[in-house]
A and B are shown apart, each in its own frame.
Chain A
Amino acid sequence: MVGLATVFGAGGGTSSYQEAEDADLIVMWGSNARNAHPIFFHHVLTAIERGAKLYSVDPRRSETAQFADRWLGLHVGTDIALAHTVAREIIHAGLAHAEFIERATTGFDDYAASVEPWTLERGEAVTGVPADAIRELAHAYATANAAQLCWTLGITEHHNGVDNVLALCNLALLTGQVGRYGAGLTPLRGQNNVQGGGDMGALPNKLPGFQDVTDDEARAKFDAEWGATVPAADGLHLTEMFEAMERDELRSLFVIGENPAQSEADVSKAIELLSSRDHLVVLDIYLTKTAELADVVLPGSASWCESEGTVTNSERRVQRVRKAIDPPGEARDDVDILVELARRLGHDWAYDRHEQIWDELRRLSPMHAGMSWARLEELGGIQWPCFTDDTIEPPYLHGRLWADDPADRGRPAPFSVVEHDPPVEALDDEYPLRLTTGRRLDSYNTGVQSGGYRSPNRLGETVDVSPADADRLGIADGEIVRITSRRGSVEAPVRIDPNLRAGLVFMTFHFPDEVDVNQLTIDATDPKAGTAEFKAAAVRIDRIDVASPVAGE
């Protein structure tokens, strides 16, 4: 969200799903949407059936890559190098959108200078992707009528995730592939309502509706509505909180619906910090590992079926969630818990209906002002922004950039000069394999929710290795091996995956109770977004006992 907000002023994907269907080129960059966002991928499939081309940029020949007209299998952590090489090729081929650059952007010259060293040859040398494939992608993207550039955690879960996003935004600015129907930048949100959390101000520097905490005028509105004073300083993002805990400046925590004791990179350290707080309160629907560490656990409700409210999806569509069943036992609606907590703290929050909370938001957040629940119901959700009760904005953002009148165009979008910066942890003789992590179709995050049903396809945790590495290491499919990084060590069965190349190893993080993969991952984080480099750790694989029988089939 930080990257898009930097360039365009709004931290949301610029396009709607329908536009993906109508695009003639789709680039899935660091996104295995076929598995991780299957129903978004349906829209991509519709486009493909209509003749659109699909490019997949991913170290793995993922399920998504297998649908692609061309797969560009870059080295982990070389996204900026690849983007810059694409950019230079576009510029040198005369395919940059000069008019758009002139009218709607700033900083082109510096940007062009920064990508100039990235010849196809250098790009190939650094990324591993053959020059002709890079060239093909560059030309296809620049010449498409309407190109969608989509990404997921393969871009953001790096120590320089924001720079990665900026490098992709640059490509859209360079070619004018944004702000038009069908052309756009689509970050696919990994988790339900990540977008909605941001929309509601669950960011350390934003109030609801992406209004800056440091904006006096915005803050004044909130102060007036709430009868309280909102602090004028940015708060801490998750990684900064852990840093603050490390310094012992942050001594108490209220954790709502997060499981950092399992989801943080380098979890051993995270658990130690969580365990040593003065007071830890966890509101969750499960007794998670984090909840087990808590002083007080507040059993909440599953927001999607035991409560009323809204969520926002990856196309910025605000949607109603509704109560279908009662929360079990003594569990209570989260809003009840918060209101009760406020009351105990001496505040009388008088909400009798969840809708009242929403209406309060509508008074404070201009981009939500036109979204009454009645209207959300009637229209099946509404994409933000929606400023008034009787208007609907176009499904894509930033159309202003194409306006003829400079006044309508508003603030031009800046190119960002960013530099290729390889993964923090380089490979060496001791840790020669690159571990990257991701999702499987039938599981989700740490498995708390998806563990609840019996998927016939569930594999459990495995360490996926290329046939060449399996040969070299003398390990067989199903054999339990030890995977070790500089931070820790886990054991998991081998799964030989012909879609991996030598040197690349893949694991999920769905089964932390059995195999705690985040023991291995590195907590090098992006200073701008606070996201950890889950996608690139250095590991080695050892046979546990060459004499032991091979497990599995």
Chain B
Amino acid sequence: MDVVTRGVPPTLEEQLAIETVLGPAPQRGDHDGVGGHALRSRRHLLLPTLHAVNDRIGWLSQEAIDHIAERLDLGPAEVYGVATFYSLFSPTERPGHQVHACVDLACRSAGGLTEPDLPVGVHPSPCLGMCERAPAAFVIEAGSPVQHAVAGRVTPVDVERFAEGAMPGPEAHPAAAVPQAGSDGLVLLHRVGRIDPLDLDAFLDDRGFEALRLAREMGPEAVIAAVAESELVGRGGAGFPTARKWDAVRTQDTTPHYLVCNADESEPGTFKDRTLIENDPFTLIESLCIAAFVTGCEQGYIYIRGEYPRARLTLEAALDACRDRGLLGGDTGFDLTLVRGAGAYICGEETAIFNSIEGYRGEPRNKPPFPFQAGLFGKPTVVNNVETLMNVPYVLLDGHATEHRLFCLSGAVRQPGVYEVPYGETLGGLIELAGGMRDGSEVRAVLLGGAAGNFVGPDDLDLVLAPDDVRAAGLSLGSGVVMVIDQHTPIDDLVRRIAAFFRDESCGQCVPCRVGTVRQEEAIERILAGGDRDLDRALLHEIGVAMRDASICGLGQTAYNAIESAVVRLGALR
């Protein structure tokens, strides 16, 4: 297109950053030029290019935006529109040292800082997915190379230090997030703490890639039959049967087919996918190879949260190791691209993730068409969550393994972390498994399924954590969040935070969610300020029902769930 910019070149540093992704700008001949579809087909490089500049410089200048637009044949306004969608990017100048302190539910209930208390310049962050070490912080030092580091159990003094320029020290071993590590009877977590996450030989010795071999022997249809028999359903929150998804894509005539692994784990209180990747990346890769084989994909994408530096680096190293060993890429007929998110909860939505990968604003799409019909790049696409996928090798090798699932225990328990339990465990039993309540704490409430889930009360501890029982109770396990709230954390404060979370994370596309989440928060604030509570609780309900019925995607549709359950089950906002 006839891209019009100010024509002011970027700085050398910006240009070098851009070229790390896009390569050097092609020389145009005096008499010949290539453009059109060839240029525009590279739009999926927009998000990585924005990252490259933001990583190196710390922000995105107008000149950098212009130059990226010129290189990708986009309008600068489009680049700006995408850049401003993500909270980790900034189109205005800022220091290269950036501190994001989690102010979300688990960190709040662990005594973390809240917005008003943050030191100047520290960004309040939604859940960083480190709830087992709450309160958490994420620190970025722009440069070449950029440094990303996270810190757990931070004190206000730590945050102050980070704000002044310090970087967090090294993280504990990833197995520290799994209190059960090394125990018998684990399936998904059985390698955690026993095998070096990046030791490919050890993985291969432990039946690594055997399931893929078996899948190839069985053929796609038999694999799907086996997965169907295992009753494996999505573990990202929606709970859709995996075998049906796979079969729907496998049988589509349109080609190519794409595979997307959703590792954009952002539901407050969820950290299982990060834990799995950091501890056992090769199983994820093998699982993706199986899914690709079954559904006829030659290209897959792993979309990982921008706030998960260690998981990303682990996965990058694991992918390289597999490629070096001829297990991925090359003539294997399948390769994986790692895509880094940039701070947007909504990108975990199964169609928003496509737009984000394609280089558009991460806004969800209307369904139909469904991903299996027209997903990534408009082609039939399988989208699976990390935990879901990682069940597959065990389904094929051992038959019945999906009767286990992972829970993310956080809050007022003695040993927060990722737990693997068989279906049939009760909520109370799970809390006991996590060492029971902290000294002096008693269960006041449990948030199940995250901000999009529901609160239950102390009377619900005998709830059986199996799909049917949970559904019967009008609840959902969602992404496996079990956040235990004690008497020291005011429920109203959590409700207020949940409302703020959805207001912040709404993509803004549809009216019910864009305005509804704001009106919901305003009503809660009025109640907490002592207004006409009955009137505003009724209004909250009206708002919530409209969001649930009329929003485009799951974000708006669930933005009232936890708040409603807090009101109804816990008597909040009275």
Q: Do A and B bind each other?
A: yes
| A70 in complex: contacting residue of B2, B3, B36, CB < 8 Å | B36
Assembly CA distance A54 to B35 (angstroms): 10
**Contact A73 to B33, CB < 8 A, known contacts A66-B1, A67-B1:** yes
Given A53-B37, A66-B1: A501 touches B30 (CB 8 Å cut-off): yes
User: Which size bracket describes the interface of A in this complex?
Assistant: 20 to 34
Given contacts A34-B2, A63-B2, contact A69 B36 (CB under 8 A): yes
Q: B259 → chain A, closest Cβ, in Å?
A: 24
A502 is an interface residue with CB less than 8 A from chain B: yes
Bound CA span A51–B38, Å: 11
Question: Counting CB contacts under 8 A, is A142 at the interface?
Answer: no
Which A residues, 60 to 98, have Cβ-Cβ distances below 8 Å to chain B? Answer: 61, 63, 65-75
A129–B32 CB distance below 8 A: yes
Which chain B positions have C-beta within 8 A of A63?
2
Scan residues 19-41 of chain B and give those whose CB is less than 8 A from a CB of chain A.
Answer: 28-38
CA distance A51 to B3 in the complex (A): 20
A128 within 8 A of B: yes
In this complex, the interface size class of chain B, counting residues with CB under 8 Å from chain A, is 10 to 19
* Residue from B29, B30, B31, B35 within 8 A of A68 (CB atoms): B35
Q: Which of A66, A128, A501 contacts B3 (CB 8 A)?
A: A66
B79 vs chain A, min Cβ distance (A) = 17
Chain A 477-520: CB-based contact to B (< 8 A → 1; otherwise 0): 00000000000000000000000011000000000000000000
Contacts of B1 in A (CB 8 A): 66-67
Complex Cα–Cα for A34 and B3 (A): 12
Instruction: Give min CB distance, B158 to chain A, whole Å.
Output: 51
Q: Mark A9-45, 1 if CB is under 8 A from B, else 0.
A: 0000000000000000000000000100000000000
Q: Is the CB of A130 within 8 A of B2?
A: no
Whether B3 contacts A133 by the Cβ 8 Å rule is no
With A53-B36, A70-B36 as contacts: A129 and B31 at CB distance below 8 Å: yes
Q: Is A48 interfacial (CB 8 A cutoff)?
A: yes
Contacts A34-B2, A67-B2 given: A73-B31 contact, CB under 8 Å? yes
Complex-state Cα separation, A68 to B73, whole angstroms? 11
Asked if A130 meets B29 with Cβ closer than 8 Å, knowing A67-B1, A67-B2, the reply is yes
Neighbouring A residues of B36 by C-beta, 8 Å: 48, 53-54, 67-70
A464 smallest CB distance to B (angstroms): 14
Chain A residue contacts of B31, Cβ below 8 A? 72-75, 127-130, 133, 501
A123 smallest CB distance to B (angstroms):
11
Tell me whether B32 and A130 are in contact (CB under 8 A): yes
A51 proximity list for chain B (CB < 8 A): 37
Q: A481: shortest Cβ distance to chain B, in Å?
A: 21
In the complex, how many angstroms separate the beta carbon of A55 from the nearest chain B beta carbon? 9
How far is A278 from B30 in the complex, measured between Cα atoms in Å?
Answer: 51
Query: Which listed residue, B3, B28, B29, B35, touches A69 by the CB 8 Å rule?
Result: B35
Cβ contacts under 8 Å, A71 to chain B: 32-35
**How distant is A335 from chain B, measured CB to nearest CB, in Å?**
41
Which chain A positions have C-beta within 8 A of B28? 61
Which residues of A sit under 8 angstroms from B37, Cβ to Cβ? 48, 51, 53, 69
Q: Which residues of B contact A68 (CB under 8 A)?
A: 33, 35-36
Residues in chain B near residue A65, CB distance under 8 A: 33
Bound form: Cα–Cα A501–B28 in Å: 10
- Name B30's contact: one of A34, A48, A66, A73 (CB within 8 Å): A73
CB distance from A189 to the nearest CB of B (A): 22
**Interchain CA distance A69-B36 in the complex, whole Å:** 4
**CA of A113 to CA of B1 in the docked complex: distance in angstroms?**
39
Contact A502 B35 (CB under 8 A): no
Closest chain A residue to B34, Cβ basis: A70
Closest to B3 in A: A66
A69 in contact with B38 (CB, 8 Å): yes
Task: Flag A140-153 by CB within 8 Å of B: 1 or 0 each.
Answer: 00000000000000
List chain A residues, Cβ under 8 A from B35: 66-71
Look across to chain A and name the residue whose beta carbon is closest to the beta carbon of B36: A69
Closest to A45 in B: B1
List the interface of chain A (C-beta within 8 A of B): 34, 48, 51, 53-54, 61, 63, 65-75, 127-130, 133, 501-502
CB-CB nearest 5 A-B residue pairs: A69-B36, A501-B30, A71-B33, A73-B31, A63-B2
Can you list 11 A-B contacts (CB < 8 A)?
A: A34-B2, A53-B37, A65-B33, A67-B35, A68-B33, A68-B35, A70-B35, A73-B32, A75-B31, A501-B30, A501-B31
